[in-house]
Amino acid sequence: MYQENVTLCGASAYEQKYYFNPDFATLPPSVQDELQVMCVLFTEDVGGILLLEFDEEGSLQFKVESLEADAMFDEIGSVLKIKQIRREKEELLESLETYYRVFCMGEEMEDF
């Protein structure tokens, strides 16, 4: 269905905005809310822009960007925060990957 990375959601400390891809509107509202809180808190803590994207294999990737002139962006903090999120939200992230592989890529559950 998709040929390149697909953005699930993201947040920007610069614009103070959150984005959720409407292609994933079938996710339960509680999951959508948890993603929003996770992304917004990340950008509040370390700054910059955070995007959660599915790659070609269906794995969820954390993509972090910052403006070159942003002296307040915490690059080391962003790496540590992503590790923390991956550890604390492991079940959620794995469920999202399974959802994407089944409903967007058309894989069978037996393939896991």
Measure the N-to-C terminal CA separation of the chain; round to a whole number of Å.
19
Which among 10, 33, 12, 45 has a CA at the least distance from the CA of 92?
33
Q: Which residues contact 26 (CB under 8 A, 6 or more apart)?
A: 103
Q: Which residue has the tokens 């559950």?
A: 109
The amino acid sitting at 99 is Y
Query: What pLDDT digit, counting tens, does each position of 27-79 carry?
Result: 999 999 999 999 999 999 999 999 999 999 999 999 999 999 888 899 999 99
Q: Please, what sign has the CA dihedral across residues 22, 27, 30, 31? A: negative
Phi, psi of 15 (to 5 degrees): -100, -5
Q: What is the pTM of this model?
A: 0.91
Query: What pLDDT digit, counting tens, does each position of 6-17 carry?
Result: 999 999 999 999
Rg (CA), the chain: 14
For residues 107 and 45, what is the distance between their CA atoms, to the nearest angstrom? 36
